[in-house]
Amino acid sequence: MERFRVVGGARLDGEVRVTGAKNSVLKLMAAALLAEGTTTLTEVPHILDVEIMGELLRRLGCTVDYRPEERRLAITVPERPGHQADYDLVRRMRASICVLGPLVARCGEADVALPGGDNIGSRGLDMHVAGLERLGAVVENEHGYLVARAPQGLRGAQIWLDFPSVGATENLLMAAVLADGTTVIDNAAREPEIVDICRMLEGMGAKIGGIGSSTLEVVGVDRLEPVVHETVPDRIVAGTWAAAAAITRGDITVRGARPHDLDIVLDKLATSGAHVEALADGFRVAMDRRPRAVDVVTLPYPGFPTDLQPQLIVLNAVADGAAMVTENLFEARFRFVNELTRLGADVRTDGHHALVRGKEHLSGAPVEASDIRAGAGLVLAGLVAEGETLVSQVHHIDRGYDGFVESLVALGADVRREPDPDYPQEG
């Protein structure tokens, strides 16, 4: 176990480059199961979750050649992959559930352990199950596993999602591409990562209409072929760097990002007083004053992303004025507020609302990351806190950010990774 030692007072200045999106690449890896042969993904981030998903695919009988220095990943899928995803891996990463749809479609059966992942609230699988049942699968919960069977194959159906769930949309989309007939998914998620998986599936031979809209129409095909696909840029990592520039009154150019994917986020930062400039291959955010407080309401895309809510709470914690942050997606996302208040932030929560009153200064203290984005937010808070901030449980951050410490140091931060004496070390 390691921690980050963050020395406050940094003004971040310089350039960073984002790679492929964590929230896309894991699902693209699962989609590779739909075609026998070798599928290659490029712009793959070097993060812990990719390694976990790679091990899961190996246990399903695939060969995984991961070359992080080249940001390249090749997955060779056998004629018939295995169909059981074990708990010891699934519990470490909730995205593992996305193998459920491809395995049922390809093998006619799947045994996937109920997942773990971030501690940000309940994210039930009811819509996954109901959608697969509409497609003709029989799904049961047995001994901690979701067991799905479709021995006669899946058949097209009309599916309405109660909520535009990203995970349910992805699982049902991947199941539907090999189903017999046409499937319509209404109230589907519209995130750029959904568009990315649709584009990859199209490259494999799938027939998908309505890409980027809330209604996806999928005409099932008999067979898909492996493909080479470039992962969409990580808008959450890009948004984290944008927020970091505003929080530290810095000047950061983010290369490899797509500003359009972050329209509402960049607009909020501009409202806070930042200079925001779209570039041909990214964007620049610069702040030369104390930010103004901005209200934030998280919503499904194209609304403000919940994964950038902690970073905006940190911005408001050092802003001029008070702001309300409303969390509509994950009820436990405010858990990190308890840690932020250890740094002196003035935040009061009531249900899914947080009232943040900005303060001139925060003060360093030991804090603990409870999930990927909370961890990143606490590091950014440490950058503007007086003294040192020790952030523990940084394995969460490693699950979503490629070279986070190295990028911070290159931008001028005083941050280092070190063993955490409060936790026993391996070996």
17 residue type, one letter: R
Q: Going by DSSP bridges, is the β-strand pair 13-17/251-255 parallel, antiparallel, or unpaired?
A: parallel
Which residue in 294, 326, 314 sits closest to 381, CA to CA?
A: 314
Tokens of 76: 């060779």
Residues annotated in a binding site for phosphoenolpyruvate: 22-23
Q: Using an 8 Å Cβ cutoff, are 233 and 252 in contact?
A: no
Angle between the N-to-C axes of helices 100-107 and 166-176, in degrees from 0 to 180, rounded to the nearest 10: 10
Tokens of residue 416, six digits: 């280092």
Catalytic pick from 13, 49, 111, 118?
A: 118
Is residue 118 annotated as part of the catalytic site, yes or no? Answer: yes
Token pair, residue 148, equals 């799905």
Detail the residues annotated as belonging to a binding site.
22-23, 94, 307, 329
Residue type, 322: A
Distance from C-alpha of 363 to C-alpha of 387, rounded to nearest angstrom: 6
Q: Could you give the CA distance from residue 105 to residue 110 in angstroms, rounded to a whole number?
A: 9
The values of phi and psi at residue 185, to 5°, are -105, 110
By the 8 A CB rule, do 203 and 229 touch? yes
Name the one residue in this structure whose structure tokens are 């996302």.
Answer: 333
CB atoms within 10 A of CB 427: 3
Q: Which residues are annotated as a binding site for UDP-N-acetyl-alpha-D-glucosamine?
A: 94, 307, 329
Structure-token pair, residue 289: 């004053």
Residue 142, both tokens: 């047995």
Residue 153 identity: G
HEC per residue, 301-341 = CCCECHHHHHHHHHHHHCCECEEEEECCCCCCCCHHHHHHH
Q: Report the candidate in 419, 422, 417 with the shortest Cα–Cα distance to residue 398.
A: 417
What's 32's DSSP letter? G
What are the φ and ψ backbone dihedral angles of 241, each rounded to 5 degrees? -70, -35
Active-site residue list: 118
